[in-house]
Amino acid sequence: MNRIITLTTDFGTRDGFVGVMKGVILSINPQAVIVDITHDIAPQNIEQGAFLFANAARYFPANAIHVVVVDPGVGSARRAIAMQIGETFFVAPDNGVLTYATRNTQHDIRVVHLTNSKYWLPRVSATFHGRDIFAPVAAHLSLGVPLDALGEPMDDWVKLSACANAARLGEEVVGRVVHIDRFGNAITNIGEELLAGMDRARVVVRVGAHALRGIKATYASAAPGEAVALISSSWHVEIAVRDGNAAQKLGLQIGDEIVVSPE
């Protein structure tokens, strides 16, 4: 009854959307434990939402229920889905926002198209499925409603395309900026596993016209105001400026290509 339900959205906190979702959940299950992961995903940025959510979800108990709503296709023909991996449930639009969270799992993945309106709110808006479908479905899951009761099984759920992956291409690793945090640090989709066999002290990290030599251990490895490449807390290559803002100083944006190569 008191299962954890997490919320990840691009709604922000100014307009009350998140609070309303919490009200729906607690009206159905007053004992639910609701945890906010983030509501500051850039509007409609599905890949950023997928990346940030996946990095956070791994630290939650196995029986958590995760609601992820970055949903530019709300009200369209895009499907609403619920997914079960082991003991964990996910509720989201079928647009690839669960792609990173489902990679490398050791469990079977079961997915249903949310078609059973018994577990929705009585009236469904064409613009707020977070409130009317996803929140109530998560609350009913927390009360023990089985996945199969929520809708029809499906196996063609949407995944982000292969271009969303960083890759080792010969001696180089090529990826992209997928998130810029509030400090202006640019987080890439290059996981440190792709650097296996490379001498991190002697690589060059290139982004735009900038070339950073070596992957450092800490922010303090750079002089004040100096740009530095390092491994972030999510175990991905990150570009930062010590005591500064890398996105502003280097002109970085989400989607910029990053190349790591031998010196």
Nearest of 24, 30, 6, 7 to residue 143 by alpha carbon: 30
Average pLDDT over residues 29-45: 96
According to CATH, where is 2.40.30.90 located in the chain? 165-262
| Torsion sign across C-alpha atoms 44, 159, 91, 132 | positive
| pLDDT single digits (tens) 104-131 | 788 999 999 999 999 999 999 999 999 9
Using the structure block, give the residue that is written with the tokens 């078609």.
115
Partnered with residue 105 across adjacent β-strands are none
In the predicted model, is pLDDT for residue 193 greater than 80?
yes
At position 119, the amino acid (one-letter code) is: Y
Predicted TM-score (pTM) of this structure? 0.89
Q: What is the CATH number of domain 4-154?
A: 3.40.50.10790
CA distance 141 to 65: 8
Helix (H) or strand (E) holding 65: strand 65-69
In the predicted model, is pLDDT for residue 213 greater than 60?
yes
According to CATH, where is 3.40.50.10790 located in the chain? 4-154
| pLDDT single digits (tens) 224-260 | 999 999 999 999 999 999 999 999 999 999 989 999 9
CA distance 112 to 148: 7
In the predicted model, is pLDDT for residue 163 greater than 70?
no
Place domain 165-262 in its CATH homologous superfamily: Bacterial fluorinating enzyme like (2.40.30.90)
Q: CB–CB of 216/201 below 8 Å?
A: no
* Residues found in the chain: 263
In the predicted model, is pLDDT for residue 97 greater than 90?
yes
Q: What per-residue confidence (pLDDT) applies to 162?
A: 55
Nearest of 219, 203, 200 to residue 211 by alpha carbon: 203
Strand order of the β-sheet with 4-9 is 33-38, 4-9, 65-69, 88-93, 80-85, 109-114, 151-154
